[in-house]
Amino acid sequence: MVLLNNFNRKILAHFDFILPLLISPIVLLSWFLVSENNEFLGQKVLIYAMIGFCIFCVTFFIPIRKIPWAIIGFYWLNIFLLVIVEFFGDTRLGAQRWLELPFVHFTFQPSETMKPALILMIAYLVAKNPPPKGGYKLLDFLKLSFFIMLPFVLVLKQPDLGTALVLLLMSYGVLFLIGVNYKIWIAIVILIGLTSPIMYVNLHDYQKKRIVDFVTKDPDHQVKQSMIAIGSGGIWGKNKEEATQAAYKFLPIATSDFIFPYFMERFGFVGAVGLFLLYGVLIFHIFGLSNVDFKDHFLRVVSYCVGMLLFIYVSVNIAMTIGLAPVVGIPLPLFSYGGSSFITFVILFAFLEHILAFRYEMLYNRTSFSKRRALSSAG
């Protein structure tokens, strides 16, 4: 019983209670807006939240540091599923991204589970071989790049340019923060500049059209209605009865990808500032967790990745709703209606909390800590 009490105290001492406090108001706001627009979908948001809580509790107790073989297996399993999608995946709206589980007729996107798999794989590789002074050299960078580019290419072939770019930006953004020799980044910038015409030529026709339309034409109908909803909210927003853009279905998919314009129509500029502050504090807090132990590279990579992923999702989603980016299928994290994205972030938060809460197992096994204990006992 004494050992169990000590175990529980150590978990509670290292558990980050600020993280759920920052996440909760975003989820509650999402439930309120979705329920207001569609009561049935609002009930499903609550179901997703309950499922997410259960998944969090299970994932939190997975000892990921102690089972590196599971991290490697999880990564390669997702690579295998992405390959299977190429041959047996369901096609919707011209994209082959979904797999259907036999007997239960439940579909899921392996590209979603690839995100936590890739994050853990990068964390494992960096922790196993931390960057030297001056950052990773070319050989180590290429080894890490192999594990990043493989899922990127497979997701890009579905085609899912949005998710593929998210994986790419998140992964290389984290390597930039962890440390790679500056000469490599200069070479990459030059290479991208030289090969960008070739990459553009090899895009799918609809992807080229999106880029051309974004650069040369006025915003399309979706974005125009979105901008009208944002502008009509004014400073303080409108009552539900006066929020005509969503009520009369002028605003497309107001509960998912375009939920931000609906939020602004209801709560105006002041509400948007509040939402930005919530996301900003959450992202900076997650980035700040990397400083809990600067020598813990596993923790640093996971916190950087989760923070980077949130920042990319929020930035791209809001940018596309105000006409500053092409429309891609990237939801507003924890806010847009949808189970796949919500569960993915719940799993990532659980992994992050586990690494923090069970950090004492590493701290108390360090030689320096043992020596301090011995000296204090002798004193």
103-107, 157-161, 186-190, 311-315: least confident range: 103-107
- In the predicted model, what is the mean pLDDT of residues 318-347? 85
C-alpha distance from residue 2 to each of 63, 185, 364 (Å) = 22, 53, 18
Q: What is the DSSP letter of 240?
A: G
5-9, 165-169, 305-309: least confident range: 5-9
312: pLDDT strictly greater than 90: yes
| Cβ-contact 286, 306 below 8 angstroms | yes
C-alpha distance from residue 368 to each of 11, 269, 293, 374 (Å) = 21, 52, 14, 10
Give the domain ranges of the chain.
Answer: 14-38+218-366
User: Tens digits of per-residue pLDDT, 72-119?
Assistant: 999 999 999 888 887 776 666 556 666 666 665 566 788 888 999 999
C-alpha distance from residue 254 to each of 118, 171, 223, 244, 313 (Å) = 31, 30, 12, 12, 17
Count of alpha carbons within 13 angstroms of residue 274, beta-carbon side: 13
- In the predicted model, what is the mean pLDDT of residues 245-270? 82
**Cα–Cα distance for residue pair 227/48, rounded to 1 Å:** 29
Give me the pLDDT at residue 301, please: 95
- In the predicted model, what is the mean pLDDT of residues 46-71? 91
Reduced 3-state DSSP string for 26-40: HHHHHHHHHHHHCHH
Rounded to the nearest 5°, which phi and psi values hold at 99? -115, 140
**Cα–Cα distance for residue pair 127/324, rounded to 1 Å:** 37
Burial class of residue 17 (count of CB atoms within 10 Å of its CB; 0-12, 13-18, 19+): exposed
- What does pTM read for this prediction? 0.86
- The mean of the pLDDT values for the chain is 83
User: Tens digits of per-residue pLDDT, 198-224?
Assistant: 777 777 676 677 676 666 666 777 788
C-alpha distance from residue 284 to each of 19, 179, 230, 289, 357 (Å) = 11, 20, 26, 9, 19
- In the predicted model, what is the mean pLDDT of residues 234-261? 79
User: Tens digits of per-residue pLDDT, 237-248?
Assistant: 888 777 777 766
User: Tens digits of per-residue pLDDT, 337-367?
Assistant: 877 788 899 999 999 999 998 876 655 444 4
